Structures are given as structure tokens and as C-alpha cells.
Homo-oligomer: A and B are copies of this chain.
Amino acid sequence: MQTYRAPVREMRFVLEAFGYEQISSLEAFSAYDMETVVALLEQTGSFAVSTLLPTNKPGDQVGLKWDAETGAVTTPPGFREAYGALRDNGYIGITGPEAYGGGNGPETLGIVMGEISSSCNKSLAMCPGLTRGLIEALEHHGSDEQKQTYLPNLISGSWSGTMCLTEPQCGTDLGLVSTKATPEGDHYRLTGTKIWITFGEHDLTENIVHLVLARLPDAPEGIKGISTFLVPKFTNGAKRNPVKCIGLEHKMGIHGSPTCVIEMDEAEGYLIGEPHKGMKVMFTMMNAARLHVGVEAISGAEIAYQTAVAFAKERRQSRSLDPAKRDRSASADNILVHPDVRRMLLNQKATNEGMRALALWTAMQIDLSRQASDEKVQQEADDLAALLTPIVKAYCTERGTANISEAMQVCGGSGFTQDWNIEQYYRDTRITMIYEGTNHIQALDLVGRKLPMHGGRLMQVFGARVTDMIRSAKEDPRMAEFVEPLKAASKTLTTVTMELAAKGMADAEEAGAAATNYLSLFGLTTLAYVWAVMAKKALDEDSAFARTKLKTARYFFQNVLPESESLVSLIRAGKANMMAFDAEELDVA
């Protein structure tokens, strides 16, 4: 049984809590006031349930077909029609620039709409997701001619995009890219093999435009010698370029999403931006992608949670431990009488809602950083977006995946079977901890780049928001239960950050050893912040929704946040025991 309802009320609450009117009051986004956004979300929700969700399970079970001779990839039954509907509804280009046919919507809108689509069919939603990344890269780094040629087709969804980074010898470490680009007249010839290329080949669009990392003949070694190229499947919209899918990966999940091995044999390509400055283009694409990946995990956790609640409401098993709660009219009680079932569901609810708030708050910073006219607003937003992106990517994917496992546990044996589909959500979501930079790469980005950036300014901006929150709640004694643990969590984070900075300065391996647990600690602390913000808003409202929100906030602070205690000790344990082993000592004896 697949069940889903778009959490529109929830999304609206979050947008309001974090001051969405700041976004819609910007000139660029004036068409997207709250009522318009809510209407779009309702519409996206209906569309996703009616059109995307029915294709989700066939997508997993029938999967993809690859023709070894032609390299053609056939998507699962229903995908072409569902993609066509996505395209025809104008969903793909909603955040794209108006000048090229886009909706000019804020990134925030793209994120909330993306969550809904991804809940209902993650594999399919990845295709327009990649297109959006390419649109953004071209918008910022493409020539006018490139924009005119590609953007209208990408924005309309007639063409789709890819990101060709990985090669067999080169995953995390892009400095190892060996694909070659040789100049030829006004273009280049690219030769090399790329692996793990999502939607690298498929039958959903008329053309596929690859963004390819490669080296020019005179390129310096390492990442300083990487350039970025556009390599379309059809050049001039018609001529078949020698860029071919020579195989598909066989994966744990996302069976509807083709993960291609792409071979280029003197394929025609066009340089984007400057020679050897390809990492800049790649990062424009990658940063947006990382936020979206975090949201993919939230989307999986959301539908899994809703499924587990539906199961729990239906299932009767055993008796309440409290005799007063026993239902004498039946031979067993509904499993929601059991505290542990509630514990599992509330762990999910409290963290899913917190993660959604964190992701939307981050998305709003991206919009402000691009469009705010006040320089200070813009800079602070840029700092926050840079700081929070690795946290959204890594914390939300780790927790989101764990939450799906917990949803499975609520359903017992039924969770392990295909009947309730949670097992698919798990398999589809598990990859989010790996792709677009593994979670440890995010942790290194946080610790090694974002913390020291501009003399620690990013962290100071975040700290100031927390302090503002605490100060603003001072007069309201009802806020004490939320603000006191936030204050403690923030203080701990500051202490640990200073310890880590001192240790890491002296020995970079110490920073590497602590980075993953540090990111988790930071993630929990950001959740404490967003929950305090939401609690404040909920206290000002008098509604059933707001009362539930307060209970969930309370659950977060008392029953989830203490997870941070162990993290502090694990961070302090340091690298010594990790580095003490010779490689052969890891072998089985």
C-alpha cells in the first residue's frame, strides 16, 4: 500500500515561521506571495499523488532496459507519461530565469515542490533535478549564445541535463579526472569514460545535455586543471554526437533512475566559462544539488513516516500496559497504545519536521543571498547558506535514512515486504548519504572550509541568530523549556568548535577524525534552533495544529536532543585509536 499526502499545512507553517514574507517582498519574487505558493503546493500535491505515485512501484520492480547495441535506455512503464505531465505543467522550469521561459520562482519554492515530487517518485524526480542544476550552472557561467541555445529547451523540459564527474579511478577526488578535451575550431573533442551518470541516457526528452569535467591538453595537474564542457547528445539539435551509454549500474535502489556508464569518443563539446576553472562551474551546480539531496532524504522519510502511521492505525496487537486503555470490544489493542511504537513514530516526526525546517531555512538564505538589496542581509544569507548546506546534505540524509529504517520497524514483517513499500523507500534513499559528495566530504567541507572561512564569520552569523532567538524569548516564560536546552546545546557546540579548531590547527588528522561526529552535533544543534523558532510561532497561535507542534517540539528537546551528549565524547576521543592500526591489522585473523 502506497499512501501519501503532501504536508502543505506544515510547509506553510515553516515558511511563515522563518519569515517567508522577506522573500516574497523581494522584487524578483513578487509573483510568489504565500497564497500563491500554498496554491502551487496543493496543486503539486494532487499531481504527485495522481501521476507520480502510481509509477513509483513499477519503476522499482520493472526497472530499466538497456540496449547493448544502440546504448538506448528505456525507462519503466509510465515514466514517459508522468515526465510529460511534469513538463507540461511547467514544474521543471519554475525556478528558471524568466528571460528563457522560466517561472522565476524562488529556490525555496523549488525545494518545497521538489520534496513533494520526490516523496512520490524519487527516481523520476531526479531527472528534472539534474536539469535544474544545469540550468543554474549555465545561468551563472554560460555565454549568451549558450544560454540562448540551451536554457529555453532545458527550462521547458524538452531537454534534460546531467553531471558527468566521476570516472572509474576518480570519485571523491575530482583532481584525478582524466577525460581529455582537444580544441578543434570553435569547439572541442572529448574522449573518456564517465561512470555513475544519473539519467545519462533515457527516453524522456528529445535531447540530453551533459556537463562534463575534462582536461585540456595544457591543463595543470589536479583540480586546478579541470575545465567544464557542454556535450549534448544531439549537436545542433539533430546530429548524433558520439556520447554513448555503454552500460547501467545495478543498484540497491532507485531502479527507475538510469545510472549510466558514458563513453565519449571524440564527442563534440563546448567550453563553459574559462579554461581550467571548471571546479567553479561544478560547485555552482553541486551546491544546489547538495541541498536537494538533503531534501530527497526528507522526502523519503516523510512518505515512510506517513506509511508507518497508516499501518499503526490499522494494526491491533497485544494489550496496552495501562489497563485503563484496553479496548474490551476487541481481542487486542491498536498498537498506538504501546509507548515504543509512539517513540519510533515521534522520533521520525520530530526530526523530519525539524529537518524540513532546516532545509527551507537554508533555501530561503539562498534566495536572500541572490536577491536581497541590503548588503548585510545578503552577506549574512550567503554565509548561512554556505554553512548550512553541508549540514542539510549530510545530517538530513543520515537521519532521513535512519528514520525510514525506524518506519520499517514500526511495521514489523510488513515493513520488510513490498506490501507497504517502506523497503523501497529505504533502498531509494540510502544513496543520498553517498552521492553528490559522501557525508564525510560534507563534514570536511564544514570543518575544513566553512568554519575557518572569513575568520570564522559564518559560525558567528549562525551564533548571532541563536542568540537573537534566545533573547527574543526571554520575556516569555513559556519559551523557557525550549530555549534553555537550545542555550546549552549552542554553548556546547561553541566549546567543541573551539577545541576542534585548536586541535585541527595543530594536526589536520584530528579534524578529519572528528568531522563526521562534529557535523552530527552541529546538525542536532541547528534542529534545536529551528524547533525553538517553530515553538515560538506555535505559542502565538491558537489551533490544534499549533498545540501538536508544541508537543512535537517538546519531544524533540527532551527525547531527541540528548543524542548530542555522546557525540561530544566521541569527538573528544580523537584520532589516536584510529591511526594506531597498521593496514594489515584490519584483516580478519
Residues of A in contact with B (beta carbons under 8 Å apart): 5, 7, 9-10, 13, 166, 169-173, 175-176, 196, 221, 249-253, 302, 306, 309, 312-313, 316-318, 321-322, 331-332, 334, 336, 338-340, 342-343, 345-346, 349, 401, 405, 408-409, 412-413, 415-419, 423, 426-427, 430-431, 433-435, 438-440, 443, 507-509, 511-513, 515-516, 544-545, 548, 551, 554-555, 558-559, 562-567, 569-570, 573, 575, 577-581, 583, 585-589
Contact = CB atoms under 8 A, between A and B. Distances in A.
Closest 7 CB pairs of A and B: A562-B569, A252-B423, A339-B513, A321-B508, A9-B589, A566-B566, A342-B578
- If over half of A's interface residues share one DSSP class (helix, strand or loop), that class is named, otherwise mixed; here it is helix
B551 A581 contact: yes
A250 B418 contact: yes
A401 B559 CA distance: 23
6 contacts: A172-B318, A251-B423, A339-B578, A409-B434, A426-B430, A558-B577
A341 to B, nearest CB: 8
Contact of A443 (B340, B577, B580): B340
Contacts of A251: 416-418, 423
A415 B440 contact: no
A485 to B, nearest CB: 11
Given A176-B331, A317-B171, A554-B577, A345 B562 contact: no
Given A249-B417, A334-B583, 10 more contacts: A166-B413, A169-B316, A173-B332, A175-B331, A336-B583, A340-B515, A409-B434, A413-B435, A416-B434, A555-B580
Interface centre among A249, A312, A507 (most CB of B within 10 A): A249
A167 B336 CA distance: 20
Interface centre among A250, A435, A575, A586 (most CB of B within 10 A): A586
A354 B9 CA distance: 47
Interface centre among A172, A515, A578 (most CB of B within 10 A): A578
A573 B558 contact: yes
A416 B252 CA distance: 6
B434 A415 contact: yes
